[in-house]
Amino acid sequence: MILWINGAFGAGKTQTAHELHRRTENSYLYDPENAGYFIRKNVPAAVQKGDFQDYPMWREINYAMLKYLDESYDGMIIAPMTIVNPQYFDEIVGRLREDGVVVHHYALCASEETLMKRLRGRGERKNSWAEQQIKRCAAGLSDEIFRYHLDTDKTTVLQNVEQIASMSNISLLPDQRGKFKKAYDRVLTQVKHIRF
């Protein structure tokens, strides 16, 4: 089974995915962005695209990797990634589903104000690339292909994890961490995902 956690930048995908991973046995975090960084480093500047999702090979690599992981790994795969182009989504998730792979998709949604506040909280500057994508992401995710939508404006990451687990029939491990350990884990996850 694959859980695809979608949403605009600042919606909480990474934190939610990592909490799901912490709270489930036999799960693996797969980052579709890594294929994009590989492509970007290995394509001449003259033919580079502004968004690595626009490379057909990015979609093909992620489809092939997720198919391989689903066939080879006896556990749940968690993929946090913003994808708002219905055609691109269909080329990865649609193909996997056609192949009989169980893919649960959740789009974490929040208001523009909430997203901007969260982006500032993680160090993004005003008018950053991530902020510039908010309207595009909201418009794209409104397409029916991107159901299920979870409103995260007033929910915590832990509440989002519980809702996704409940909707996907996943058993969560008890969370024995104290308040400070949970905060430490959130900060550590955020620091690990800073892209330079």
Look at the chain and report how many structural domains it folds into: 1
Mean pLDDT of the chain: 92
Cα distances (Å, whole numbers) of residue 66 to 35, 82, 130: 12, 16, 25
Q: Which of 97, 174, 172, 110 is nearest to 137 (CA)?
A: 110
Which of 9-13, 57-61, 186-190 ranks highest by mean pLDDT?
57-61
Q: Which structural domain, as residue segments, surrounds residue 87?
A: 2-192
Residue 60 has pLDDT above 60, yes or no: yes
Cα distances (Å, whole numbers) of residue 110 to 12, 74, 118, 133: 9, 33, 10, 13
Confidence of residue 175 (pLDDT cuts 50, 70, 90): confident
> pTM (2 decimals)?
0.88
Tell me, what CATH number does 35's domain have? 3.40.50.300
- SS3 of residue 78 by DSSP: strand
What is the predicted pLDDT for the residue at 75?
96
